[in-house]
Structure 1
Amino acid sequence: MTQNPSPKAALRAQARAAFLHKYYNAVPEQVTALDGDASFRRYFRVIHKDSRLILLDVAPEMGDVQAFVELNALFNKGAVRVPQIMAADCALGFVLLEDLGTVHLADRLGAQQDVPGYYETLIEMLPDIARLPLSPHMKPYDAAFIDMELDIFSEWLLTRWLGYEISESWQRQWRALKETLILAMQGQTQVTMHRDFHSRNIMWHQQQWVVIDYQDAVRGPVCYDVVSLLKDCYHTLPQDQFEHLQRYSFEVLSKAGLLADRSYADYQQQLALTGLQRHLKAAGIFARLYLRDGKPGYLQNILPTLQYVYDAAKCVDTFQWLATCVQSEIIPLVKAKLEQRK
């Protein structure tokens, strides 16, 4: 039995149809909803005659597409390939984009022989992104924001999903860890970063890589996009490939003058600490997507993300408490929760 859409959803569908009719001067032949975005944004594939486009739909009460449009122009000026915008109505929250197809970096991994070559090409893009000028649409990635991101882990993963009891001792060590990570991230060269530069946000189209989901770009630590790419929550590189690409990223960023004469050992430490912050946040976001947004599909990514957290924490003396906690308490609790869902 098909449920009738809510009055709000029906009004949104009418607005969507009107926007498309205005662009095509006709009713499109086919409009298909696409799944998989970890946000309030909705995407539709629109087919009409020989035209295939993607419609981005963000209801104004949920968000603003102005940053998406403005940062699209910024990335284009910096010679970073992003989707071409065909039409937009920022007041209504609609953007019509070129259709890049369905092949992401994630789809070209696995059995492909040239995986290191893919990553080397993408690493070579990072200086171009890093040098993009500051935009008014980039939110400040300051200490308060980094702190807030980290608390997504303690609130949504530990407290809300796992029901983990946070002791005073744990809270005290957590505060010290956050201070250390904030200092480590703010002590790096601050550049423009994509912020989600991973295998699901990079597409292969017409024999080149195209970057999507750039609308949350900010100014932040130079290691962040390297971490997003090489310690991807959706794909774990073999250790030998990771070590090669970590060294390659150091060489590329050093040659571009973005590492302030840091040694490779310093760079590895920065990468590890930046990754620890990102993965703590990501694990919390995956739990939040399930609890708040009704998207259970990301729960499967929590365990590999926690493995990154454990691997980084165990290498820092003052973070041994977190490594022990993740390995002996948090991972077993997550496994039990996932088992209950089967």
Structure 2
Amino acid sequence: MNRIERLQQWVGQQLPGHRIELTPASADASFRRYFRATLDDGSSYIVMDAPPEHEDCRPFVHVAELFGAAGANVPKVHAQNLEEGFLLLSDLGSTTYLAALDDDNAAALYAEALGTLAVIQAASRPGVLPEYDRALLMRELELFPVWYVGRHKGVTLSEKETTQLYEVFDRILEVNLAEPKVFVHRDYHSRNLMHLPGKDPGVLDFQDAVYGPMSYDLVSLLKDAYVEWDEELTLDWLVRYWQAARQIGLPIREDFADFHRDYEFMGAQRHIKVLGIFARLYHRDGKDGYLANMPLVMNYLRKTCQRYDELRPLAVLLEKLDPSVTAEGFSF
């Protein structure tokens, strides 16, 4: 019996007495796959297939319980088979934020997403989720020189360039680690939020959640690798979040300028990491769909590095790796 047949058998055992149609729902950047189980009465569930040799379902179950108890709209775990890597989940629909967002509804949808994020953050406490510590943050940064610089661009850094890059990494991490800490989803963006009219957004793909820098999920949401908004608009949303966070007692910086600097440096860390991850997904895993998103991520990173003197050496390196396109003027 192959894995799909075994999955179908298990789902049938969990939902006896029904004819069940199993169709692909989505896949992500890991080994996990998702199927929609549609029953003969019109109801539906989502089935997660996470091969145990590659994935561990237990963090998903743990964080679903944690975030759900906080009040976030996460999938309910109806049944679990941790040994084989199967989960039967409630169905939060098929309309992602990425599919639903437009100029008319963006402000309302982002307000709802930021509200849900604040609910999760308000429930934060240490010792429940893994620490987003320096070692993990640095491992993520190091994906950039290995996979983006070396493998994707085919560039070997000089000793001086390597030293300067790691000096920038240290400056970024110093700011990241000084932030107030909360629960961090780690991929809180338009592909992992589901649009449910009349309800709070559905929150997915949270199994890698940690306890760490407060601005991380804000960067994921407002400097999204998959959709771009005018910077003035995202800054307005960020200010509104900061004001609301202060009102409900989240451990946020008193001065917005300090909070914004945290957000910018956290963005630098995330975008350096994401460039490395997208390159690895292509070169190691054969997933080329993320290449189209690299220019936007690079643009976010380049802008941030140009704004801060401490990050200027990285701006120079980025210009070497990906020279800015400048329009030439011609006179006749």
Length-normalised TM-score, structure 1: 0.89
Which of 258, 279, 290 pairs up with 2:250?
258
Q: What is aligned with 2:82?
A: 90
Shift, 1:284, TM fit:
0.9
> 1:81 aligns to what SS in structure 2?
coil
Q: Deviations over 1:126-179 (max 9, x none)?
A: 222113345877332110110000001111111112111111111111111111
**Aligned-pair CA distance for 1:282:** 0.8
Aligned residue type for 1:121: E
**Contact 1:189 / 1:258 at 8 angstroms: preserved in 2?**
no
1:188 alignment counterpart: 179
- Aligned residue in 2 for 1:48: 39
Say whether the 8 Å CA contact 2:305–2:312 is kept in structure 1: yes
Instruction: State the shift of 1:193 in Å.
Output: 1.2
The percent identity for this pair of structures is 32
Out of 214, 220, 223, the residue aligned to residue 212 of structure 2 is: 220
**1:164 equivalent in structure 2:** 155
Q: Give secondary structure in 2 for the equivalent of 1:119.
A: helix
1:5 matched to which residue of 2? none
Q: Distance in 2 between matches of 1:223 and 1:52?
A: 35
Once the two structures are superposed, the pairs formed by residues 51-70 of structure 1 within 5 Å of their partners are: 51-70=43-62
Deviation at 1:116, TM superposition (A): 1.2
Distance, in Å, in 2 between the alignment partners of 1:162 and 1:137 is 39
How big is the shift at 1:205? 2.2
Name the amino acid aligned to 1:89.
Answer: N
Higher relative contact order (CA 8 A, sep 6+): 2
SS of the equivalent of 1:46 reads strand
Q: Is it true that 1:16 corresponds to 2:7 in the alignment?
A: yes
Residues 282-293 of structure 1: matches in 2 within 5 Å? 282-293=274-285
Q: Which of residues 129, 139, 154 is equivalent to 1:148?
A: 139
Question: Which residue of the partner structure matches residue 131 of structure 1?
Answer: 122
Q: How far apart are residue 85 of structure 1 and its match?
A: 1.9
Aligned residues: 323
**1:104·1:199 contact (CA, 8 Å) conserved in 2?**
yes
CA–CA distance in structure 2, aligned partners of residues 70 and 242 of structure 1: 32
| Cα distance in 2 between the residues matched to 1:184 and 1:103 | 36
1:36 Cα deviation (Å)?
A: 4.0
2:142 is paired with a residue whose SS is: helix
The question of 1:201 aligning with 2:200 is answered no
Q: Cα offset for 1:273?
A: 0.2
Closer/same/farther in 2, CA of residues 125 and 99 from structure 1, 3 Å limit? closer
Equivalent position of 2:329 in the other structure: none
**Counterpart amino acid of residue 139 in structure 1:** P
- Which amino acid in 1 is paired with 2:216? Y
Amino acid across the alignment from 1:215: Q
**One-letter amino acid of the counterpart of residue 293, structure 2:** N
Match of residue 16, structure 2, among 13, 16, 25: 25
| TM-score (normalizing by structure 2) | 0.91
Deviation at residue 222 of structure 1 after TM alignment: 0.7
How far off its partner does 1:28 sit? 4.6
Q: Which moved more, 1:313-322 or 1:212-221?
A: 313-322
Pair 1:18–1:181, CA change in 2 (3 A): same
Matched, 1:241 2:233: yes
Gaps of 5+ in 1: 1-9, 334-342
Q: In structure 2, do the counterparts of structure 1 residues 28 and 58 end up closer, same or farther at CA, with 3 Å as the change threshold? A: farther
The SS at the match of 1:173 is helix
Q: Please tell me whether the aligned partners of residues 20 and 27 of structure 1 are also in contact (alpha carbons under 8 angstroms).
A: no
Q: Deviations over 1:61-104 (max 9, x none)?
A: 01110111121111111011101222111121101112222111
| Runs of 4+ that moved beyond 4 A | 133-137
Q: Deviations over 1:226-267 (max 9, x none)?
A: 111111111111123112112112212222333454311111
**Secondary structure of the structure 2 residue equivalent to 1:296:** coil
Counterparts of 1:327-338 in structure 2, within 5 Å, are 328-332=319-323
Q: Which moved more, 1:23-32 or 1:301-310?
A: 23-32
Question: Is the alpha carbon distance of 1:256 and 1:183 closer, same or farther for their aligned partners in structure 2, counting shifts above 3 Å?
Answer: farther
Output the amino acid matched with 1:230.
L
User: What residue in structure 2 maps to residue 107 of structure 1?
Assistant: 99
Task: Provide structure 2 residue ranges, at least 5 long, that are not aligned to the other structure.
Answer: 325-332
Q: Which amino acid aligns with 2:101?
A: L
